[in-house]
A = this chain, B = another copy of it.
Amino acid sequence: MDSKVNLTPQRKAIYDVICESNNHPTAAEIIENLKENGFRFAYGTVYNSLHYLTEAGLIHELKLGEGSSRYDGNIDEHQHIQCEICGRVDEVFTEINGEWLEEIDKETGYTVKSHQVILKGVCPTCQNQ
């Protein structure tokens, strides 16, 4: 990880919002949240910062097939599960079996570089309704 990350005030504020949120916010939600904290950055700045932070490895971009990306301040290897009903996103730490990835390498001839698992289901809260 590069130690020369240039954390401008804008990038820091955005990073903080992501880390303090516990629900994997979208860019729109981040902007909303910044506004509540008294910040109002240009759209370009927000998207640019999100790319920068992602590139720097400080956050992860989650593409769950919703039309907008979500951002995650937890950069440990993990996957996600999303509730079909309320939309909340939770972390999943049980990792996929490594053999499976090797199988795929053999089956497809691809050199597998990364995998992302998107789970959908019903969260505990929504189960009781």
Contact = CB atoms under 8 A, between A and B. Distances in A.
Interface of A: 63, 65, 81, 83-84, 90, 92-94, 96-97, 100, 103-104, 107-124, 127
B118 A111 contact: no
B108 A81 contact: yes
Contact of A96 (B65, B100, B113): B100
Given A111-B122, A120-B113, A121-B111, A100 B103 contact: no
Copies assembled: 2
A127 B111 contact: yes
Nearest to A88: B110
Nearest to A96: B100
Contact of A122 (B103, B113, B115, B124): B113
A81 B110 contact: yes
